[in-house]
Structure 1
């Protein structure tokens, strides 16, 4: 296998575009109703070593009398490149487009209509705040209903003239300034900014509690107050990325500076979404500390009465493969036009499905359609938006890159009639299947008995050689995340190069209920390791084309932790390992991670901010870590480390590297000084894929 061949495969697959965002606008004509669907795509350009974005539009013509009956879909317009955009948002009525753009370090706010650019403000020159937040955690760009005002989040200005101790500290560049951790570096003190488009002014809203960092803001009905989520940052900030367990609350702030908390205390909340009629606000709610990803409830706040009730509760154990709960953020537009139904995507076992919940009956229905066309089954349905009852979704499978589809919300229990707007440029001749795995009695969890888990197996339809297929066991991180049966560039690349791939959703993965998530607490390094091994044995028994003599493991973060456990606990089984930013020694990681709480919780200890390490806790963390099995490791190990990783210090991988070198075990280390935990730079991803494939090929 030549490097040029591997690079060519990666260039082909990474160049396929993926769906990022969508918007729907509507126009009523005498005989027809016109819907304009705008989709934004992302694509990797290996030539410039960057990710690019572009947009495309479709015109959907529906009957005037029955607007849910599509007459025709016109051919799409040309793709238009998007350059420098940090945030964009469409207004609800006039379909104005607001864009925050970065031009040579200056942030510009642009307003576009059908005639062109109508207003442009240089936010940097106004000097009201620091950099605008574009991340999904805090960032927002919210129109008021009158369409004269906008909200966004930015870093507090350090040039404040306030005579306070805090501002004095902020002026001293040598004083340590906390931020929100991995992938949120330099985001420390967010503020809510309101733009008045009529007079072109920007104001930083006052009244946010001093111990709260605001984000995800939106205008309340009447545009005289705003809703926002506030994360408590005292006594210090913990990493926020991928952590839905941080103490936070829903607040309402009026323009006079009066602020009130609307949600309960000591909870974690996110994703406020206002109904089209302005009567109800929904949001996600979960617990604080414990698993940093969890099953969430959906709360609904009646704005007239001020009463909050539960629309969807936490699902502890799904019944017969049914709805398993909510595990991910709600899209910005998720309401039906009548404000009575909410649409969302969520993990369900080894799948990602599309669901609808009716507020009146609280009944949950699946809107995914894998029956009308048996030749095309999608393992993942991701909602991009629903506007004017027209849903826009991204569908994919391990052999099918993202497909753009639309469908109207049904008025009753009938099935949705889905229409494909854009097929992927190509599909791939891979076989894939979903495995359900039941632990044997000796591996059952005493406190959460009877849980099972699953895996997704992907393999080439025609092996490159007549021999059995080598199997790569791909383990997700988190650990509370999921490998749905969706398009995955790494998996597709390995399958195209002749490997079978087993993506394991061990107990603790999302999509199997809250009991499954809680079952992993205190059991890391044992239950999850046994689950992966059990999934491998299940796959080998069910598929005779897989070669049990050529097994390898790959994974990142907690997935890398499990990779290194497997080669230490089952040294005769696995012939190669490739781990990205793995946890190697939880005891030494304790003081260097931005999510120190997880180090305690994962080992079975309660966490509090004033926690001091004890000999008992450190011993338990060490015993649960791969470093305790290093003497048994015989498989060659490839390590890939990000020099700027704040979640799992790169010194974790270095600790394993030195231990293996001291024992003469084959090990290779790749160091990426400018990358973080996700190793997500374009050049890093390409290098990691090439190195991983060549490593597996050499040792299998």
Structure 2
């Protein structure tokens, strides 16, 4: 064998070994389970928290789920604290249930199941009695042909139990008779209202429903990524078929929730047709008096020349649990983006007072509310170098000044040691290039002594945000392969005041690009372990500076701005 051939074989062998190592690393990362939901129930003196976790099974090429059941009990000598008795896990291997809904009392559980039947699909709703531990019914909802397929996606899917627990509310496609061939004239002037199914709810006494009706005018993009679509909040009375508007027209509304005593309805609202995912206000409707009240206004700007992470920046990307209320019907607990992290805040529906209840004094991670029941709050917390964990805490009384003491329900230390995926450090970095005020980013660096290359990862959107939480599989793969990573929340990002969001429209491709490049140059100068000659960019819609960045990975990039003008509802594109 010639020297050139032997060198080629040797190089191929090294490449294959590197690929095998990379594949094994990705398999390890995919094994880390991520929490999907959790629900708390009281069983006498014990409290039971059931949670569903998912991880990607590489050999199956699909996501698999498991259920964890944790049992806690209040500590006798320490008030408002809990002791973990046990946690057990069980794989969920039954028929995939696409939607699941629990009644308010937890006595009934409804699931939507979709099965293939030749070229068609059949859907069933199964109702299970959790008290008697028996199936109540399993109904074929396809054969009657009252409607088409029930929506099961995150944007439009949802099963909602009535207060009396005798009816289910869901959204479905219209039933359309199949035709092999047909001609039609498209009449775009025939407008219809349709409801955003993530924004509908039964009213007290099950006399009707409240829903957000969106004006179905021709638009360039759909609702799922454009939550600034305009519409009106309506009340539909079932007996009289009367439709009553509850809000102004042409507003964008998210998240409906009635208080446990059914006297208060809260929702989140912004003006339509502005930037995607812009700040929302929290609105209250007194259902008995039919009176509107603004609880939390839109915050235009965070004061000060430097980033003030303690000052409330407004509500962004609000995540509302199915049960967000305290038992006294006074407070709701929601998750919101707050700078480069996600926090849990309480909103007093009587005074409008907002309080941050997480990361007070010490940063533990980004938090999301999963469930609130009987003044117990279940949440998930994660940080860039800390896998997600579920915690439970007792809600203090109003204005008591007490902090929630959290009890951890699982122990991920075994996962951390076994997978050894956390050998990196991270920190928040502030930037200010003298235009539009300061902004910030997150810098992750492997804990190695050698010089490491830098991958710059600006978020897409453009109105989005990168938060300090457990990274995605691709990000962990890069970190554990020896790459430093820089995420930049440039002007236009969420969680820094609404003026910060509105500073980008009209300046896309200029303000954001300059923010990103300035941030890169700043961290290269401040961090001696970064290799100036090996800098890459990895983004959704970003590129440029081809002499500076040695490699570029663009997912779903803007390739033709002229064509995007006809397709996108983002004016700059």
TM-score (norm 1): 0.72
Q: 2:26 aligns with which of 1, 10, 20?
A: 10
Instruction: Name the residue aligned to 1:646.
Output: none
Q: What's the secondary structure of 1:8's corresponding residue?
A: helix
Q: Does 1:437 align with 2:454?
A: no
Instruction: Name the residue aligned to 2:68.
Output: 56
Q: Does 1:347 align with 2:337?
A: yes
Q: 2:422 aligns with which of 425, 428, 440?
A: 428
2 CA distance for matches of 1:83 and 1:230?
33
2 CA distance for matches of 1:413 and 1:271?
28
1 CA distance for matches of 2:236 and 2:467?
39
Instruction: Name the residue aligned to 2:454.
Output: 471
Q: How does 1:205-216 map to 2 (within 5 A)?
A: 210-215=192-197, 216=199
Task: Report the RMSD for the aligned CA atoms in angstroms.
Answer: 2.5
Q: 2:403 aligns with which of 397, 402, 415?
A: 415
Structure 2's unaligned 5+ residue stretches are 1-14
Instruction: Name the residue aligned to 2:529.
Output: 545
1 CA distance for matches of 2:196 and 2:384?
38
Q: CA deviation at 1:39?
A: 0.9
1 CA distance for matches of 2:34 and 2:182?
41
Whether the 8 Å CA contact 1:399–1:492 is kept in 2: the answer is no
1 CA distance for matches of 2:192 and 2:508?
37
Q: How does 1:593-612 map to 2 (within 5 A)?
A: 593=567, 596-598=568-570, 600=571, 603=572
Instruction: Name the residue aligned to 1:586.
Output: 561
Q: How does 1:127-526 map to 2 (within 5 A)?
A: 127-159=145-177, 175=184, 210-215=192-197, 216-236=199-219, 238-256=221-239, 257-319=241-303, 320-321=308-309, 322-328=311-317, 329-369=319-359, 371=361, 377-411=363-397, 412-424=400-412, 425-426=415-416, 428-440=422-434, 444-445=435-436, 451-463=437-449, 466=450, 468-489=451-472, 490-526=474-510
Q: CA deviation at 1:221?
A: 0.5
Whether the 8 Å CA contact 2:390–2:408 is kept in 1: the answer is yes
Q: Aligned pair in 2 of structure 1 residues 431, 65: CA closer, same or farther (>3 Å)?
A: closer
2 CA distance for matches of 1:255 and 1:80?
38
Q: CA deviation at 1:539?
A: 1.3
Q: Does 1:573 align with 2:543?
A: no
Q: CA deviation at 1:53?
A: 2.4
Q: How does 1:623-662 map to 2 (within 5 A)?
A: none
Q: Residue deviations 1:635-673, cap 9 Å, x none?
A: xxxxxxxxxxxxxxxxxxxxxxxxxxxxxxxxxxxxxxx
1 CA distance for matches of 2:32 and 2:84?
27
Q: How does 1:1-150 map to 2 (within 5 A)?
A: 2-27=18-43, 29=44, 32=45, 34-62=46-74, 68-81=80-93, 83-104=95-116, 105-114=121-130, 115-150=133-168
Q: Aligned pair in 2 of structure 1 residues 421, 173: CA closer, same or farther (>3 Å)?
A: farther
1 CA distance for matches of 2:73 and 2:183?
60
Q: What's the secondary structure of 2:204's corresponding residue?
A: coil
Whether the 8 Å CA contact 1:213–1:233 is kept in 2: the answer is no
Whether the 8 Å CA contact 2:323–2:373 is kept in 1: the answer is yes
2 CA distance for matches of 1:286 and 1:578?
34
1 CA distance for matches of 2:83 and 2:538?
48
Q: Aligned pair in 2 of structure 1 residues 94, 432: CA closer, same or farther (>3 Å)?
A: closer
Q: Residue deviations 1:203-230, cap 9 Å, x none?
A: xxxxxx9433352322110011111121
Q: Residue deviations 1:520-555, cap 9 Å, x none?
A: 010011100010011112212221111111100001
Instruction: Name the residue aligned to 2:10.
Output: none
Q: CA deviation at 1:298?
A: 0.9
Q: Aligned pair in 2 of structure 1 residues 211, 439: CA closer, same or farther (>3 Å)?
A: same
2 CA distance for matches of 1:395 and 1:213?
32
Q: Aligned pair in 2 of structure 1 residues 315, 81: CA closer, same or farther (>3 Å)?
A: farther
Q: CA deviation at 1:423?
A: 3.1
Q: What's the secondary structure of 1:74's corresponding residue?
A: strand
Whether the 8 Å CA contact 2:359–2:365 is kept in 1: the answer is no
2 CA distance for matches of 1:422 and 1:174?
59
Q: CA deviation at 1:71?
A: 4.2
Q: What's the secondary structure of 1:58's corresponding residue?
A: strand
Runs (4+) off by over 4 Å: 63-67, 170-179
Whether the 8 Å CA contact 2:192–2:215 is kept in 1: the answer is no
Instruction: Name the residue aligned to 1:639.
Output: none
Q: What's the secondary structure of 2:205's corresponding residue?
A: coil
Whether the 8 Å CA contact 1:292–1:480 is kept in 2: the answer is yes
1 CA distance for matches of 2:411 and 2:488?
28
Q: CA deviation at 1:19?
A: 1.2
1 CA distance for matches of 2:125 and 2:182?
29
Q: What's the secondary structure of 2:465's corresponding residue?
A: coil
Q: Residue deviations 1:138-159, cap 9 Å, x none?
A: 2221111211111111111114
Q: What's the secondary structure of 2:404's corresponding residue?
A: coil
Q: Aligned pair in 2 of structure 1 residues 507, 178: CA closer, same or farther (>3 Å)?
A: farther
Instruction: Name the residue aligned to 2:11.
Output: none
Whether the 8 Å CA contact 2:427–2:443 is kept in 1: the answer is yes
Q: What's the secondary structure of 1:597's corresponding residue?
A: coil
Q: Aligned pair in 2 of structure 1 residues 290, 71: CA closer, same or farther (>3 Å)?
A: closer
Whether the 8 Å CA contact 1:54–1:82 is kept in 2: the answer is no
Whether the 8 Å CA contact 1:555–1:578 is kept in 2: the answer is yes
Q: Residue deviations 1:336-386, cap 9 Å, x none?
A: 111111111111111111111222332221111465xx7xx4331111222
Q: What's the secondary structure of 1:20's corresponding residue?
A: strand
What is the number of equivalent residue pairs in this alignment?
Answer: 533
Q: Residue deviations 1:269-292, cap 9 Å, x none?
A: 121111111011111101111211
Q: CA deviation at 1:175?
A: 4.9
2 CA distance for matches of 1:81 and 1:281?
38
Instruction: Name the residue aligned to 1:655.
Output: none
2 CA distance for matches of 1:143 and 1:61?
29
TM-score (norm 2): 0.88
Whether the 8 Å CA contact 2:445–2:479 is kept in 1: the answer is yes
1 CA distance for matches of 2:218 and 2:550?
46
